[in-house]
């Protein structure tokens, strides 16, 4: 499923919260959830008073690693966790991650929320069979939901793309391109992002976070989709 392409500067629906928490210079740090979590990239947006995390991994071991990484990366309170879209590698072990942050609120796109509610049980069963039941949370998330999708941080010109953009060192997941409209929507995404003139684009999956920049992963995604 292609994320909604609305621009946000952090999130329109939480603008007041973010404005208060991140009023001075913002920084974005990234973490690659490897192993069972399929090299999914989580992002940590850190402001002067608080932080938010974008995307939580699929498997329990990586959820625990991500929680430890967040605590080691910032001493600011984690006030929110966001899911960019409904794929299980973005939320399935969210409950395990949030055990370490009991006051953190969870947010997701309204379409993602609806899809998660429909698919979560079957995803838990399927992924549990593949990776072992002990690696997967049985009740992924039980939190409060609001809207929005991709993340644009204009003050530092950083865009967190979710699966709109993939790292140049991995293959794209194309199985959700079930209609010409979905394909065209994704094909237009690199141009949309390029128009914002970002300095850094954080892809949804990558083997490494050492080379994130303005064009390398955008160009790769565009070429891959037009194969």
Please name each of the domains of the chain with its CATH number: 12-225 (3.60.15.10)
- Answer whether residue 22 shows pLDDT above 70: no
- Answer whether residue 155 shows pLDDT above 70: yes
Q: Mean per-residue pLDDT for 149-153?
A: 83
Q: What is the mean pLDDT of the chain?
A: 78
| Joined tokens for residue 21 | 């928490």
Count of C-beta atoms within a 10 Å radius of residue 131: 18
Comparing 136 with 20, the larger pLDDT belongs to 20
Q: Mean per-residue pLDDT for 136-144?
A: 39
Burial (CB count <10 Å: 0-12, 13-18, 19+), residue 89: buried
- Answer whether residue 48 shows pLDDT above 60: yes
- Answer whether residue 14 shows pLDDT above 60: no
Q: Output the pTM of the full model.
A: 0.77
- Answer whether residue 201 shows pLDDT above 70: yes
Task: Judge contact between 55 and 32, C-beta under 8 A.
Answer: no
- Answer whether residue 140 shows pLDDT above 80: no
Q: Mean per-residue pLDDT for 162-177?
A: 91
Determine the pLDDT at residue 219: 96
Burial (CB count <10 Å: 0-12, 13-18, 19+), residue 115: middle
Determine the pLDDT at residue 109: 66
Q: How confident is the model at residue 138 (pLDDT cuts 50, 70, 90)?
A: very low
Q: Mean per-residue pLDDT for 180-207?
A: 90
Rg, Å, the chain Cα set? 16
């Amino acid at each position: 499923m292609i994320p909604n392409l609305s621009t946000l500067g952090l999130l329109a629906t939480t603008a007041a919260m973010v404005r208060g928490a991140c009023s001075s210079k913002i920084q974005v740090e990234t973490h690659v959830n490897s192993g069972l979590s399929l090299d999914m990239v989580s992002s940590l947006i850190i402001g002067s008073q608080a932080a938010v995390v974008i995307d939580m991994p699929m498997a329990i071991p990586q959820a625990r690693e991500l929680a430890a990484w967040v605590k080691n990366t910032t001493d600011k309170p984690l006030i929110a966790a966001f899911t960019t879209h409904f794929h299980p590698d973005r939320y399935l072990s969210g409950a395990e991650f949030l055990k370490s942050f009991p006051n953190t609120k969870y947010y997701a796109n309204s379409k993602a929320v609806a899809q998660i509610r429909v698919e979560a049980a079957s995803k838990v069963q399927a992924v549990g069979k593949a990776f072992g039941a002990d690696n997967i949370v049985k009740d992924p998330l039980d939190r409060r939901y609001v809207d929005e999708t991709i993340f644009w941080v204009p003050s530092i010109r950083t865009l967190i793309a979710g699966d709109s953009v993939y790292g140049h060192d991995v293959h794209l997941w194309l199985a959700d391109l079930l209609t010409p409209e979905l394909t065209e929507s994704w094909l237009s995404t690199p141009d949309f992002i390029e128009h914002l003139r970002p300095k850094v684009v954080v892809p949804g999956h990558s083997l490494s976070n050492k080379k994130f920049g303005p064009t390398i992963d955008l160009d790769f995604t565009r070429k891959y989709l037009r194969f």
